[in-house]
Amino acid sequence: MALRRLPETLVNRIAAGEVIERPAAALKELVENSLDAGARHIDVSLREGGQSFLRIADDGCGMSHDDLSIAIERHVTSKLPDDDLLNIHSFGFRGEALPSIGAVSRMSITSREKGGEDAWQLHVEGGSVAKPRPASLSEGTVIEVRDLFYATPARLKFLKTPRAEALAARDILDRLALAYPLVSFSYQEDDKKPVRYQAQEDLLDEDVALEARIRAVMGHSFIENAGKVEAVREDMAVRGYVSLPTAHRATTRDQFLFVNGRPVKDKLIFGALRGAYGDYLPRGRHPAVALFIDVSPALVDVNVHPTKAEVRFRDAGHVRGLIVASIRDALSGASQFTTNSLAPMALESFRASPQNPLQDSVPRYQPRVSGGCGRNYNSKPSSAYVLSEPDLMPAAPPQVRTEKEEQEEEGGSFVSATGRLGAAVAQVHETFIISQTQESLLIIDQHAAHERIVYEKMKAELAEGGIKRQILLIPEVVDLDEKMRSVLIEASESLEDSGLVVEEFGGSLLVREVPAILGQADVKAILQDVAEELLDKEESSAVEARILSVCARMACHGSVRSGRKLNVDEMNSLLRQMEETSGSGQCNHGRPTYVEMSLADLQKLFDRR
């Protein structure tokens, strides 16, 4: 067998398979080249998902005749001036994109070097390059790619529908647009109306520009329901916005991650995100984030993968730790607040009622199956709660306030005296607390809110060395089916850390101790719930995660029930505890614990505005 060197074109086609796997990848390489060239305006258009046509025009530094002649040769780059792979400040550096795209398509590059006399155009078809010809172009570079992958029919077969390819292209553009808020972008798909991300020309404050760009790309409601992340250390910084846990999404598509200005989809960072949100999110739901991580280029390797979507940090633990801590900080600052996008929903349901005044003289919001455990809705009042003594007085009627009181409240003292969640005025349906602040009305789901508080207290106790237990005066014998019994016995050690001391007792279980915070909750119901949780959780899940999920289940039993009357003091004490508890804007299942309606909205309801 004779050895031979593969022809250049074939080498480039093989490389194209790695770097350019779909039209969106070509778009990414070309837009990154424009950004590397210092462009302030980048216009992208494409047809049929970018397969039949893709065009990128920029006003960057351009290329001279001589540069253009070699730009499509493999491993030709202007971006590694001192051969230092540890010090990379540009997107490109491998010199692979242009030759790869040129090898599998019909491509033309038209360019004029900044300050240069004339423009030149170069054609490449399936890897064969023609000599540059004079062209006309006022500035920058225009690259047109037609019939991508025509030279590699096998690849062509793997493309998805034009619609799916266009979505992927748009996703890439959105990510780059977020990374470069000072650059203007436009994007046109087939004959649709172009999308424009305008940068204000004279805007110097990058923070302001970034916020405007995030609003443009991710929508206003994202930022309005997000916490701000800002953590700066000596060698590393994490900045951006992360959605409140109640504003969760079905997919990870709205997770925009950047390392040193480069969009990435990095496993370590995804893992850190999951860790940071942990039990604040319902299963299978995802936060939306725009997160910018900056580390010294020497501490991160971007050359792990040809598309550079993954990176490798020298100190992964440190990076993960800072991401988790900074997101938690942002959420604990913001997350006693629930998303404001719920208020319009609530408002709508109020609005619905007057349309049929006879049938529905009572506002017709459906009491949600109450926060958390669902089946407890309207169950018998439990004696277990951690508020003040039970007080079965009827709920206080809405207070009528005197003029004098109202005057006293003006000037802000009202809010500061009562706190962010206002003063409780009434309880309705023995399920919801109504409270008011100076400019709004709040409806709080008492069970969901309290459940969160109990759970957070348990977590704090865990962190301090273990859940405080209380010995039952008379150990309780509980009968459960075989499967539940055995899963509880198997887990008895980690259950002890969660505050439950259980042992086998003939064909039953003997419960000796329960978490002190649960008071005299229904022991059998707790065991059933915990067993279900354990059966539900994968065997493999870490002990720590198991303990937390058990605590979340138990918290439900230690919480004031829907259906229990509360007096005003109890209600206010619950509100104050919510204000002190991080994450109290949602219950342990990610559902909101309260909704807030502004006075202005209320006035609108009654046409007072």
Residue 79 within binding range of ligand ADP, rule CB under 6 A: yes
Q: Among 51, 77, 255, 370, which residue interacts with ligand ADP (rule: CB under 6 A)?
A: 77
In the complex, the smallest distance separating the C-beta of residue 20 from Mg ion, rounded to whole angstroms, is 11
Return the range that interacts with Mg ion (CB under 5 A); candidates 90-98, 120-128, 202-210, 485-493: 90-98
The residue within the footprint of ligand ADP, chosen from 49, 50, 95, 583 (CB under 6 A), is 95
63 is a contact residue toward ligand ADP (CB under 6 A):
yes
If the CB atoms of residues 95 and 287 are measured against ligand ADP, the closer one turns out to be 95
CB of 41 to ligand ADP, least distance (A): 12
CA distance 176 to 185: 9
Query: Which residue type is seen at 209?
Result: A
Tokens standing for residue 202: 């004279």
Stretch that binds ligand ADP, among 57-65, 175-183, 291-299, 472-480 (CB under 6 A): 57-65
- For the chain, the straight-line distance linking the first and the last C-alpha, in angstroms and rounded, comes to 88
Burial of 17 (0-12, 13-18, 19+ CB in 10 A): middle
Q: How many residues bind Mg ion (CB under 5 A)?
A: 3
Q: How far is the CB of 116 from ligand ADP (least distance, A)?
A: 12
For residues 273 and 238, is the Cβ–Cβ distance under 8 A?
no
The stretch among 32-40, 308-316, 478-486, 522-530 that binds Mg ion (CB under 5 A) is 32-40
166 Cβ contact partners less than 8 Å away, ≥ 6 residues apart? 46, 49, 50, 189
25 contacts ligand ADP (rule: CB under 6 A): no
Helix (H) or strand (E) holding 374: none
CB of 142 to ligand ADP, least distance (A): 9
> CB-wise, 56 or 433, nearer to Mg ion?
56
Residue closest to 308 by CA, chosen among 79, 149, 124, 123: 79
Choices 92-100, 149-157, 260-268, 341-349; region in contact with ligand ADP by CB under 6 A: 92-100
Distances (CA, A) of 26 to 16, 29, 50, 168, 379: 10, 5, 9, 11, 60
* Closest residue to ligand ADP, based on beta-carbon distance: 92
Residues within window 565-584 making contact with Mg ion, judged by CB under 5 A: none
For position 120 contacting ligand ADP by CB under 6 A, the verdict is no
- Least distance (Å) between residue 61 CB and ligand ADP: 5
Whether 165 contacts 246, CB under 8 Å: no
DSSP string, 270-337: HHHHHHHHGGGS-TT-B--EEEEEEE-GGGEE-TTSTT----EETTHHHHHHHHHHHHHHHHHHHTTS
Q: Which is nearer to ligand ADP, 65 or 557 (CB)?
A: 65
Selected range binding Mg ion among 86-94, 126-134, 366-374, 454-462, rule: CB under 5 A: 86-94
* Among Mg ion, ligand ADP, none, partner that 71 touches (CB below 5 to 8 angstroms by kind): ligand ADP
SS3 480: coil
For Mg ion, the binding residue among 15, 23, 27, 33 (CB under 5 A) is 33
Under 8 Å between Cβ of 178 and 213: yes
Q: Which of ligand ADP, Mg ion, none binds 422 (CB below 5-8 Å, type-dependent)?
A: none
The total of other beta-carbon atoms located within 10 Å of residue 158's CB is 10
Q: Which of 94, 215, 285, 537 binds ligand ADP (CB under 6 A)?
A: 94
Sole binder of Mg ion in the list 19, 57, 88, 97 (CB under 5 A): 97
Nearer to Mg ion, 26 or 151 (CB): 26
State the binding partner of 35 from ligand ADP, Mg ion, none, CB within 5 to 8 A by kind: none
How is residue 46 written in tokens?
A: 């494409």
SS3 assignment, position 404: helix
* C-alpha span between 177 and 179 (Å, rounded): 5
Q: How many residues does the chain have?
A: 609
Residue nearest to Mg ion (CB): 92
d(CA 177, CA 184): 8
Among 43, 48, 58, 144, binds ligand ADP (CB under 6 A): 58
CB 13 within 8 A of CB 34: no
CB of 54 to ligand ADP, least distance (A): 13
Judged by CB under 6 A, the stretch of 69-77, 235-243, 428-436, 583-591 that binds ligand ADP is 69-77
Reported as type and span, the H/E element at residue 523 is: helix 523-536
Nearer to ligand ADP, 107 or 226 (CB): 107
Beta bridge partners of 123: 108
Question: CA angle 182-185-187, nearest 5°?
Answer: 165
Q: Assess 97 for contact with ligand ADP (CB under 6 A).
A: yes
- State the binding partner of 98 from ligand ADP, Mg ion, none, CB within 5 to 8 A by kind: ligand ADP
Choices 86-94, 195-203, 277-285, 433-441; region in contact with ligand ADP by CB under 6 A = 86-94
Distance CA 300, CA 285 (A): 30
Within 8 A by CB and 6+ apart from 605, the residues are 347, 350, 351
Shortest gap between Cβ of 153 and ligand ADP (angstroms)? 24
SS3 188: strand
CB of 167 to ligand ADP, least distance (A): 24
Task: Choose which of 23, 49, 60, 92 interacts with Mg ion (CB under 5 A).
Answer: 92
Q: Any contact of residue 44 with ligand ADP (CB under 6 A)? A: no
Q: How far is CA 257 from the centre of its chain?
A: 10
* Pairing of the two strands 184-189 and 195-197: antiparallel
Q: Is 39 in the site for Mg ion (CB under 5 A)?
A: no
> Among residues 41 and 420, whose Cβ is nearest to ligand ADP?
41
Q: Given candidates 29, 189, 445, 461, which one binds ligand ADP under the rule CB under 6 A?
A: 29
Of 97 and 330, which has the nearer Cβ to ligand ADP? 97
142 binds ligand ADP (CB under 6 A): no
Could you give the angle at which helices 206-218 and 162-179 cross, rounded to 10 degrees? Answer: 160
Closer Cβ to Mg ion, 101 or 236, answer by number: 101
Rounded to 10 deg, the angle between the 523-536 and 482-490 helix axes is: 80
Q: Which residues bind Mg ion (CB under 5 A)?
A: 33, 92, 97
Q: Which residues bind ligand ADP (CB under 6 A)?
A: 29, 33-34, 37, 58, 60-63, 71, 76-79, 92-98, 141
